[in-house]
Structure formats: C-alpha cells, structure tokens
Chains A and B, each alone.
Chain A
Amino acid sequence: MRKFLPSFKLLSGLLNVYGLVFLTFLYMPLGLIVLYSFNANPINMAVWTGFTFDWYATIFGGAAVETTFDAAFTESPERIFEVVKNSFLVAFTAASIATIVGTATAIAIARYNFITKRFYQALLLLPMLIPDIVLGISLLIFFVGIGFELGLMTIIVGHVTFLSSYVFVVVSARLAGMDTTLEQASADLGAGPVTTFRRVTLPQIMPGVVGGFLLAFIISLDDVVITYFIAGVGSQTLPLFILAMMRRGIRPQITALAVLILLFSFVVATVGLLLRNRKP
C-alpha cells in the first residue's frame, strides 16, 4: 500500500501515531490495575502512597493486614483457594467435553455430506450469537423445571453447550486448510475409518484441537453471566466471587486478585494463539 499510495505519506504517519493511541487504549486500563495492585493506599487506590506487596500477601494468607481499612471482612485464603479450585474444575471438565463434542461435529461437517448440514451449521452458531443472559436464563428455567439441583454440575453442563461451538469453529478452520489426499490414501491402503482418524486426521488437526480446548478453557474460566444464573450451593466460581466483592465495593485485594487472573489468562491465551497460528 505504501508503494501504491505516495500521496498518503502524511496519512500513513498519522496512522502510525493512531496505532499507538489504539494500543494505549487497549492496555492502559490493564496497566493501571497492575500499578494499583502495588499501591499501599487502602482507601483511594488512585492516590499513590507507597509500594506494597500486602494485597498479594493477604490473598495467600501471608500477612494479615491489621490496620487497613475494612480489613474486618477480608476473605480468607481458604475461601479464595476453594473458588479457584471450583473454577478450574469447571473449566477443565467443560472444556474437555466441549473439545470432544466440537471436534466430532467439525469432522462430520467437513468430511460428510448430508441434508441437515446447513441446519447443524446454523445451530452451532446460535449459542455464540445469543446474548449470554438469554442462554443463562433459559438454562435456569430448564434446570429448575426438571428438578436438576443447581451446582457445579449445572455450571459444567451449561458451559459445554456454548463452548462446543467455539471448539467447532476453531477445529473447522483447521480442517478447512487441510489436505484430504492423505486421508484418502490411508483409506485406499485399507485402513479403517478409526485408524485413519487416529493416525492421519488427528495428528494433523491436533494444534486446532488443543487451541480450541485452550480457548474453551479460558472462556469457561472467565464466564460470569451464564454461571451467575445457574450456580448453586458451594459452587461459587472465581468470577462470581469477584462479582460479589465488586458489589460490596472496590477493595485493594480485588486488584491483586485481578492481576493474578490477568497473568494466568494471558499465559494460557498466548499458548493457545501460538498453537493456532502454527502452520499445518
């Protein structure tokens, strides 16, 4: 474009400046949270009074912050550990099931021809398109209606319904870019469909499958709205825990917790995106 549009030289300079502003817009809020999480001021996080690790320490039960404002109801480390455990349990289970369902469906759509193909494609897009609140509420009504006790199980089931669609999309993209001659060769050489799948198809789509799994994992870990409606006894997840804390007011501990979650999500997302971008 640079070559073709010499008259846009000024414009391209402006565009570069704009790009930096754009990235600043994306990262400044997150950077500020990181900064605030080290601010010793317990009352107004925007006023810097000194550097501290206390907020991180309280999360892990290290230092009991005695003098701080509102320390009376600081959440116990055990409680935080429990909600983190719930979150990981849900995310791992739901993402695993969704990976199986989504991958199977993607293969069916990519490798077979059948009348209801269009229907399935549309059906799989719906859970991603429908606003979260509608999905959450329909599941709530359903679970209550059939007398299914709300808890970790309902959260897992609820998550699988929309996570499968995400895995489907990621794996489908991988399948679309794949050469089918190897599969045909395998079949021609007398390998059964199961062998062909295991030896030929699966290794080739593996980066897509793992990428889909990680995407599903992160989305499940972060889900607030759907979980909010279908959570039950003792099934508080990390986002619900943060939601409850935010409702009661901004406290410095939330900031530290937020930074830890941020770090974790970024690491998983980075691995996922790298895998997805790897060429077949």
Chain B
Amino acid sequence: MKRTITRLAGVASVLLMTTQLASAEGNLSLYNWGDYINPELIDAFSKEYSVDVTLDTYSTNEEMLARIQAGASGYDLVWPSVHMHDIMQKLDLLQPAHPNEMKGWENIDKGAMRSHEDPNGDYCLPYAWGAVGILYNKEQIPELTSWKEFFEYGKEHPGKITMLDDLRETLGVGLIMNGASVNSRDPAEVEKAEAYILEQKPNIAAFRYDVIPLVTSGDIAAGHYYVGGVLNVLQNPDLLGFVIPEEGATMYQEDVCLLKTAPNPDNAKLFMEFLMRPENAAKNSERLTNGVVNTAAVDLLPEELKSNPSINPSPEVRAKLQIFEDLGKDLRIYTRAWDRIKAN
C-alpha cells in the first residue's frame, strides 16, 4: 500500500512540474462564450507569436461578470455583449486597449460602435453581431417566417418548441409580440410580455441553449436560437432552416475587451490586432456564421454567407432588430417576471 501511495505522490509531483513548465513562455488567457471563436485562429496566433493561449468559456454575460467580480483575475480578454461592456466599463473592470489606434481599425464598421460608454473605441474592439431567431427542422416545419407561426405550431404540437433560458431574450420576444421595446422599463409592458410567454409556456418543451442537437435529431421541431446556428444549416440545408421572424427580433453584439487586471496586456493587444486582419475576421465569420463588423472581410467571405439573409440581413430587416441596453435597478422588474414564469 505504501508503495502505491509513493507512486501516486510521484505522479502528482510530475503533474505539478508540467503545470509550472507550461507557464514559462508568453501567455494569453481568453474568457469567451462557448463556441465563439474559430479554434484555428487561436492556433495560428499561438504559432505566429509563440504565445501560450488558454481559453475558458462561459454561457451568460452574468456568469462572466460574476466570476470576474469574484476575483477571477487571471484573464486578459473577455467578450461581453455591448450592454455588459458598458456595465463593466462603469464598474472600472476594463482598461483602454486603444484598438482605434491599431492597424486595421479603418476596416471596422463604424455602425458597430454601439457602446454608450465607449463611442470611439478607446476600450474595446467590436467583434461580431447577430440576430436571435428560430432554428427549425424542415422535415417537421417546411417553412417558418414569424413568431406567430412558431407559437401556433407549438399550440398544435405541444412540447415541440423550445425557448432560450435567458430572461431578457425570452421576455424580449414577449415584448416584441406586444409591440414594446425590449428595453422597456414600464412594469405594465413587462407584465404583458410575461403574460404572453406564460400563455405559451404549456406548449414550450423547455428553456434551453442546446437547441442544435435537439432540432437536428427532430426531438423538437423549432427552437429560439442565435444566428450561429446557420453553420449547421449550411452543413445540412435540406434538414435545417433558420429565420429572423418578421415581427422583429433581438440582436446581440459582442466586443472584445481588455480587463483591468489582465496579466498579459501586450499579448492581448497583439491578439486584438490579429483579429482585425481581414483574412482572420473572415475565417472567424465562416465558423461563427455571425454578422461581420469588418468591412474588408466581407469580400473575402464565401458567397453562401454573404448572401444569407440571416447573417447579412437587408436594411428593412435590420431596422426591426433591437439590441439590449443595461437597465440598472430596473432589471428587477424582469427578474421577477421571469421567476413568475418559471414558478407557474
């Protein structure tokens, strides 16, 4: 027995040593959404600058904020949505990286400067944007164009549709269906949205993020999902479809931000510049199937992406997309509505 323990101790000390070795070279620590960067880019950057890149992932803005506030101080770059970018800047969690002084800034679409706190790009680099629509299985629903059809399908086939487990996204759909702003601070409007979602709840199978496998396998027919699902639509065009509903939808945009506590700010800035190269931005968009914020990258995209109405919507559709803003204390109106939806 003693021998076993000695041997285990040996193994552990070897493990400890390798941990230390790994931190010998230049480092860069990324904290990004799951599946939100082309892994090839990380490899390429890592090779070009011989920097050791680590990537941790989160699934909501709030989770990321909570962990950063909880003292997770080893990360360099984070990918907050625009409203979270504003919050983090207000909370003094970011430092200016000055992407606007970097090479390649001229390619950044100035329409993507959506942050209120950072209108000139002193802090963060716009990364990608996209609409939140519906991913559906064409074998079960040949065509889908609107939220109305989505919910009607749910009424006829209860348990075959899902919505996101995100209070602002899902209540946002309720607000859109009542013609209100997704940033409404009016309790009466939020209450109406809540009532709308509650009315649908018996037909909604679940509030989930793992929509792609469920729709692909036909376990559910349609799910509220991000435009990133188009990647799977392109791989499986006969089986899957994605639509931005005609009533309108929410949209998101993430910015790449440098944390105040970043241990490797120089590598982080190099990485920002690296992301701005048109060929890299294009390579990333191919994988993310998100809207592009790099005008020079658009020409490098394959035709199927450039002409895709969900990735690159027409101006009329764009006009119906709404982006979330920070609501401050009024977020509690939404939290309570959401808790009520979940409780009933």
Contacts and interface: CB of A to CB of B under 8 A. Distances in A.
A/B: CB atoms within 8 Å of each other: yes
Interface in A214-249: 232-234, 236, 244, 246-249
A184 interface: no
A236 B31 CA distance: 12
Interface stretch (B70-78, B143-151, B166-174, B247-255): B70-78
Interface string A188-201: 00000000000000
A44 interface: yes
Contacts of A248: 34-35, 59, 209-210
B327 interface: no
Interface stretch (B8-16, B102-110, B180-188, B198-206): B8-16
A264 interface: no
B235 interface: yes
A179 interface: no
B141 to A, nearest CB: 18
B231 interface: yes
Interface in B44-70: 54-57, 59, 67, 69-70
A43 B19 contact: no
Contacts of B5: 210
A85 B8 CA distance: 13
A87 to B, nearest CB: 10
B236 A89 contact: no
B214 A92 contact: no
A150 B39 contact: no
Interface residues of B, number: 42
A149 B12 contact: no
Nearest to B165: A247
Given A93-B12, A210-B1, A234-B29, A246 B72 contact: no
A72 interface: yes
B294 interface: no
A147 interface: yes
Given A73-B35, A232-B67, A43 B216 contact: yes
A140 B19 CA distance: 25
Given A44-B217, A76-B39, A247 B59 contact: yes
B74 A144 contact: no
B192 interface: no
Contact of B209 (A73, A148, A233, A247): A247
B43 to A, nearest CB: 9
Q: How large is the interface on A (under 10, 10 to 19, 20 to 34, 35 or more residues)?
A: 20 to 34
A250 interface: yes
B211 interface: yes
B287 interface: yes
Most-contacted residue by chain A among B69, B213, B218, B236 (CB, 10 A): B213
B18 to A, nearest CB: 7
Nearest to A81: B18
Given A92-B12, A250-B213, A85 B18 contact: yes
Contacts of A247: 34, 59, 209-210
A246 B213 CA distance: 11
B214 to A, nearest CB: 7
Contacts of B236: 69
Contacts of A89: 12, 15-16, 19
Nearest to A252: B213
Contact of A249 (B4, B213, B218, B287): B213
B232 interface: yes
Interface in A155-213: 206, 210
B71 A69 contact: no
Contacts of A151: 72, 74
Contacts of A72: 35, 231, 287
Given A89-B15, A248-B210, A249-B214, A149 B57 contact: no
B71 A149 contact: yes
Interface in A31-77: 43-44, 69-70, 72-73, 76
Most-contacted residue by chain B among A72, A73, A93, A206 (CB, 10 A): A72
A-B residue pairs, 8 tightest by C-beta: A233-B74, A249-B210, A249-B213, A44-B217, A73-B35, A232-B72, A144-B70, A92-B12
Interface of B: 1, 4-5, 8, 11-12, 15-16, 18-19, 29, 31, 34-35, 39, 54-57, 59, 67, 69-75, 209-214, 216-218, 231-232, 235-236, 287
12 contacts: A70-B212, A72-B287, A85-B15, A88-B12, A89-B15, A89-B16, A233-B31, A236-B56, A247-B34, A249-B212, A250-B210, A250-B213
Given A44-B218, A150-B71, A249-B211, 13 more contacts: A44-B217, A69-B232, A72-B287, A79-B55, A88-B15, A92-B8, A92-B11, A140-B70, A149-B72, A150-B67, A206-B1, A234-B74, A250-B210
